[in-house]
C-alpha cells in the first residue's frame, strides 16, 4: 500500500489525505496545499524504513566507467548503474540529490558492503557464488560478457582469449575478469580500475585489456578511433545490486523495484539515456530470487 506523505511525519500525511477526502466528499476543491510526495510505507525496523526516514542513502558505484558509472563535471557520477541506483532510491522516497555516491573499485565492493560503508553497490557487479558467501545480490538487471579490447585495427590479430597465451593482458584486481583470464595467460597485469589499463595498451606493454564487453565499449567510445572491442564475449556476467548478506527484506524490496522497472519502462528509459547512446537496448533479464 502507498500513502501520500508530504513531511516526514506520517500523521501529517494522514491528515492531509483525510483533508483531501473530506473536500472531495463535499464536492469542494482541496485548498492550496504544498504538493505531496508519494513514498511507500515500510515496516518499522526494516532497512527500507530506516533509509526512507533518513531521507538519504549511500551507494557505491564506479567513477571511471563511461556508460555505466563515470564521474561527471559536477562531481556526481552518470551512467546506467547510476540510473539504477536512483531508481531504487526513488522508491524509498529519496531524491537523487540526497544520494551519497561513493567510488567502489572492483576489489573493495564486498568489504564496503560488509563494513556498512555503503547501503548498496551498483557497479557492473557480477553475481556469483563466491561473492554470495559474504554479501547478497538483487537482480540481475543486466547481463554482460567478458571480452577483449585491442588497439584499433587489431595489429596483433587477436581473435579471442586463446590467442593470449604468450601475451600480456591488463585487467583489474578483484574482478571476475582477472580470475577468468588467468585460464588463458599467466602474463596478467592487474590494476585498480580499467581506465588505468589504457596507457599500457597504447604503449604496447600489453596486447589487450580484458573485462566486460560493455565496459570496454564505453572506453572505446570515450577514446574514439584508438581502440576496438573484439565483440566475442566468452563468459556470462549477470549484474546484480550488492547489499548486506542477511538483509532478505531489503533484497526482496530491491528485486521488486527492478522487476517493476522492467515492466513500466523505467529500466528501458534508464538504459536509453545512458548506455543506450552507444549500445542497443537489450531485453531485461529475469530476476533470480535465490
Choose, by CB under 6 A, the member of 42, 80, 112, 125 that binds ligand GLU: 125
C-alpha cell at 192: 585498480
Judged by CB under 6 A, does residue 108 bind ligand GLU? no
Min dist. Cβ of residue 123 to ligand GLU (A): 6
Residue 131's beta-bridge partner residues? none
Choose, by CB under 6 A, the member of 170, 172, 217, 243 that binds ligand GLU: 172
Residues in the chain: 290
Judged by CB under 6 A, does residue 143 bind ligand GLU? no
Alpha-carbon span 79 to 283, nearest angstrom: 18
Indicate the angle between helix axes 248-264 and 47-54, nearest 10 degrees. 70
Q: How many C-beta neighbours within 10 Å does residue 74 have?
A: 6
Min dist. Cβ of residue 125 to ligand GLU (A): 5
Which position has the grid cell 538483487?
A: 138
Extended beta strands in the chain, E state: 2-5, 37-40, 57-61, 64-65, 69-71, 77-78, 99-103, 120-121, 135-144, 146-151, 169-172, 188-191, 208-212, 227-229, 237-244
**Number of residues forming the site for ligand GLU (CB under 6 A):** 13
Choose, by CB under 6 A, the member of 108, 143, 176, 210 that binds ligand GLU: 176
Choose, by CB under 6 A, the member of 211, 213, 255, 274 that binds ligand GLU: 211
Residue of this chain nearest to ligand GLU (CB atom): 175
Residue 57's beta-bridge partner residues? 99
Min dist. Cβ of residue 87 to ligand GLU (A): 19
Choose, by CB under 6 A, the member of 110, 119, 212, 247 that binds ligand GLU: 212
Q: How far is CA 54 from CA 48, 57, 99, 236, in A?
A: 10, 8, 11, 37
* Binding-site string for ligand GLU from residue 228 to residue 247, where x marks contact by CB under 6 A and - marks none: ---------x----------
Min dist. Cβ of residue 85 to ligand GLU (A): 15
Choose, by CB under 6 A, the member of 47, 52, 106, 255 that binds ligand GLU: 106
Residues whose CB falls within 8 Å of the CB of residue 16, separated by 6 or more in sequence, listed in order: 4, 6, 33, 36
Min dist. Cβ of residue 211 to ligand GLU (A): 5
Residues that bind ligand GLU (CB under 6 A): 106, 123-126, 172, 175-177, 211-212, 215, 237
Amino acid at each position: 500500500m502507498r500513502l501520500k506523505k508530504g513531511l516526514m511525519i506520517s500523521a501529517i500525511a494522514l491528515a492531509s489525505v483525510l483533508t483531501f477526502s473530506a473536500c472531495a466528499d463535499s464536492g469542494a476543491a482541496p485548498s492550496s496545499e504544498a504538493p505531496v510526495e508519494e513514498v511507500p510505507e515500510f515496516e518499522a525496523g526494516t532497512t527500507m524504513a530506516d533509509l526512507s526516514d533518513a531521507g538519504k542513502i549511500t551507494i557505491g558505484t564506479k567513477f571511471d566507467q563511461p556508460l555505466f558509472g563515470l564521474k561527471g563535471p559536477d562531481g556526481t557520477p552518470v551512467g546506467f548503474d547510476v540510473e539504477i541506483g536512483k531508481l531504487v532510491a526513488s522508491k524509498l522516497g529519496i531524491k537523487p540529490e540526497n544520494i551519497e555516491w561513493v567510488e567502489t573499485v572492483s576489489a573493495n565492493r564486498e568489504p564496503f558492503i560488509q563494513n556498512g560503508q555503503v547501503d548498496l553497490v551498483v557497479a557492473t557487479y557480477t553475481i556469483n557464488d563466491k561473492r554470495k558467501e559474504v554479501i547478497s545480490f538483487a537482480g540481475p538487471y543486466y547481463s554482460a560478457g567478458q571480452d577483449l579490447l585491442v588497439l584499433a585495427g587489431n595489429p596483433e590479430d587477436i581473435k579471442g582469449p586463446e590467442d593470449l597465451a604468450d601475451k600480456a593482458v591488463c585487467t583489474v584486481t578483484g574482478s571476475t575478469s582477472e580470475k577468468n583470464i588467468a585460464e588463458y595467460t599467466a602474463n596478467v597485469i592487474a590494476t585498480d580500475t580499467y581506465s588505468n589499463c589504457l596507457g599500457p595498451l597504447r604503449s604496447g606493454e600489453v596486447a589487450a585489456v580484458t573485462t566486460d564487453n560493455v565496459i570496454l565499449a564505453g572506453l572505446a567510445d570515450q577514446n574514439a578511433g584508438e581502440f576496438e572491442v573484439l565483440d566475442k564475449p566468452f563468459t556470462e556476467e549477470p549484474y546484480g545490486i550488492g547489499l548486506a548478506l542477511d538483509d532478505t527484506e531489503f533484497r526482496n524490496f530491491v528485486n521488486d523495484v527492478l522487476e517493476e522497472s522492467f515492466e513500466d519502462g523505467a529500466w528501458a528509459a534508464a538504459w536509453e539515456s545512458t548506455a543506450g547512446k552507444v549500445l542497443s537496448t537489450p531485453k531485461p533479464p529475469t530476476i533470480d530470487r535465490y
